[in-house]
Amino acid sequence: MPGAGPRRRALSGVEERYPRALWARSIIHIAVGHVFAAFVHLLSGVGAQRPRRGLSPAGARAAAPGPQG
């Protein structure tokens, strides 16, 4: 079929561009997801190493002023 050539080339151009955009968006989403996961991991690591301030609930009960009487 002589008329099928240009149409086939036009479709192949669309098929080529869509997966390229899909790959680009996928790579961007994966990169942003990894950056976010690294940030959360960093926060949890810093939080685990930092000494806690304040009293524990048991200590807070012992240190709380009781009723005088």
Rounded to whole angstroms, the Cα distance separating 50 from 54 reads: 13
Residue ranges of the alpha helices (H) in 1-69?
4-49, 57-63
> pLDDT tens for residues 4-50?
556 656 566 555 567 888 999 999 999 999 999 999 999 999 888 87
> Is 0.75 surpassed by the pTM of this model?
no
